[in-house]
Structure 1
């Protein structure tokens, strides 16, 4: 029988600062770095929008860290499609077929919480023959972790906001919705729904919605009352962890992000070039026209554009050459602008400002010790 959505009511004092973070994916350093940057305190409410776990080497450690913080801070969390893997694995029978675990664990290895649990209790996890021992060990060795994950609601709802990892098809009769499509709703923004509440989601990195500019800045659609905040943490070469910031009973007005890259200051001005492309995961096959040790000249068949792509951004999958998310955008900068430096190359630097990635050919100066990233208002 399909599990139905679990809906919890969320009521907070007017004016309380709310921090919403999604898709941490086991990146403990980014999580702690972002909380420190925004000055998270006991006066705030932190909403974790799902996919706290998986695809990161610190998933188990991060889970315990959040459980500990929840004893001292006001933290609410909804379940994402990567947060139920452990308790589904120990179901009787497991809720996912064996073929799924073979494929998933083969791809993510030590970045899966199942591998991290197996390592902690000294069990191998090489293939299906090792599954029964781990399935028996997890309830015995990790009862608190399982109980925490099983307790997570599918969504949090107030009169003004609806927080859910993937998305919802409607705002009424939420308890009648199947849980899984709410946790995993691919291309939610592209379905052109509109709502009366603000619907805040993660799940799909926001750069997937932007065909021309490679931007991890939260996507806010006021006319549809949708906010999408997944910055591609752990999944994109220039990914970041976003925090949506607002006062309870007010509209989402601000954000900050943490990306772990060093800061620098632009010494020279550069005009931007908006005739550009954002090669995204959903349309990333390319044809290599000319190979180079640092850059390859490539054709992107989906757009018909030819551009230079970092050689180590190219990989083979299913007999097809593909590219990590990349761009030929020339970013507009003024002297004194503070940027995150993603990559320095012989042709300039790939930098980020306000979540937007692009190429800069001017001089970069060391950032002062008190330099901070720039974040423009969301509304």
Structure 2
């Protein structure tokens, strides 16, 4: 298989805005909701979709058909993400044992939806050569659309990739570099053009107060915009909008809104947030409601409600007691004991349930 980085070059649009969205993950409802919120104008605005159109959501095939139609009739340009690569596995019968393992573990997949439509299913004994052949017979257009997606889109002022670029000349030597590199912001590489990526939920860069809004690093000239849609319980789908010299952000999620009924002032504390990549903990002491744990990445010992501990991990736990104003609304993430985890203006925190109208 050709592993070189495929690049699509575009002229900057002569009118309208450039709207960047990444990691839709088959969540068509939230994607349409975001397009409506940003007042997307087909034929006027340019839409850049930075990969991971499918996988993990509930409407993967419908999402793919919707985007294919957009790309055919509108100024819509799509990049291949690592999750979209699954179409190459099927199209070229590539690494079929690996493909089987992924599909057996992943409940929500574009390939499962294709198989269901033609009345076939997958189990541990399935012949993958036959299985992929049957899918190719019925969904060749869809598989080829994903297969033909570029890994990078380059304009005179912006570079778009799913996860990263290695340089501004070749962008990388292998497509895996631009599709799967983690923690791109931490590599401290400076670019002359603005570089926009998705792939890694932005909260993975947060270790004190977690925000799901896009991050811009002025020292590197990189925007990271994946809001954790589908893959995070408090996740959101972000739009980064370039309108001439102005940059705006809009986001949507599927969390319920609740009203704040008591004002909560900011407390003096040292906030912490436990990311997925640094969630391993050592349990030092356990009570009926909480456990005293140590996290080596944060080099901190702290108490965690037991609801957040699973398999010696405390993913997405925060001790940040978020300030609130009576009468405003926040997004409800989850309830635990007498507390609630909430999101306000993209920021994750907790409050007592008595402060909310639930």
The TM-score normalised by the length of structure 2 is 0.91
What is residue 364 of structure 1 aligned with on the other side?
A: 356
Q: Mean alpha-carbon deviation: is it higher for 3-12 or for 66-75? A: 66-75
Give how far 1:164 is off: 0.2
What is residue 263 of structure 1 aligned with on the other side?
A: 257
Equivalent position SS for 2:126: helix
Cα RMSD after superposing both structures: 2.1
Equivalent position SS for 2:47: strand
Pairing 1:66-215 to 2, within 5 Å after superposition? 66-91=67-92, 94-96=93-95, 98=97, 100-109=98-107, 111-127=108-124, 129-174=126-171, 177-215=173-211
Give how far 1:195 is off: 0.6
What is residue 30 of structure 1 aligned with on the other side?
A: 30
Cα distance 1:273–1:5, how it changes in 2: closer, same or farther (>3 A)?
farther
Q: Given that residues 220 and 226 in structure 1 are in contact (C-alpha distance below 8 angstroms), is that contact kept between their aligned partners in structure 2?
A: yes
- Deviation sequence 1:12-39 (CA, Å, 0-9, x none): 3345211111111111222122112222
List runs of 5+ in structure 1 lacking aligned partners. Answer: 367-379
What is residue 301 of structure 1 aligned with on the other side?
A: 295
- Picking from 347, 351, 355, the partner of 2:346 is 355
Aligned mates of 2:295, 2:340 — CA distance in 1: 26
- Picking from 267, 276, 280, the partner of 1:281 is 276
Q: Given that residues 136 and 143 in structure 2 are in contact (C-alpha distance below 8 angstroms), is that contact kept between their aligned partners in structure 1?
A: yes
Aligned mates of 1:280, 1:173 — CA distance in 2: 32
List runs of 5+ in structure 2 lacking aligned partners. Answer: none
Equivalent position SS for 2:87: helix
Equivalent position SS for 1:146: helix
Aligned mates of 2:94, 2:129 — CA distance in 1: 14
Q: Mean alpha-carbon deviation: is it higher for 34-43 or for 165-174? A: 34-43
Aligned mates of 1:258, 1:150 — CA distance in 2: 29
Give how far 1:274 is off: 5.1
Aligned mates of 1:4, 1:73 — CA distance in 2: 28
Give how far 1:113 is off: 1.6
Q: Given that residues 115 and 121 in structure 2 are in contact (C-alpha distance below 8 angstroms), is that contact kept between their aligned partners in structure 1?
A: yes
Equivalent position SS for 2:8: strand
Q: Is 2:227 aligned against 1:227?
A: no
What is residue 237 of structure 2 aligned with on the other side?
A: 241
Cα distance 1:235–1:16, how it changes in 2: closer, same or farther (>3 A)?
same
- Runs of 4+ aligned residues of structure 1 deviating over 6 Å after TM superposition are none
- Deviation sequence 1:194-253 (CA, Å, 0-9, x none): 1111110011111111111222111111221000011111111211111111215x35x2
What is residue 314 of structure 2 aligned with on the other side?
A: 323
Aligned mates of 1:197, 1:59 — CA distance in 2: 32
Aligned mates of 2:49, 2:339 — CA distance in 1: 37
Cα distance 1:338–1:246, how it changes in 2: closer, same or farther (>3 A)?
farther
- Deviation sequence 1:322-344 (CA, Å, 0-9, x none): 23322111112334443212124
- Deviation sequence 1:338-378 (CA, Å, 0-9, x none): 32121244423211122110012362358xxxxxxxxxxxx
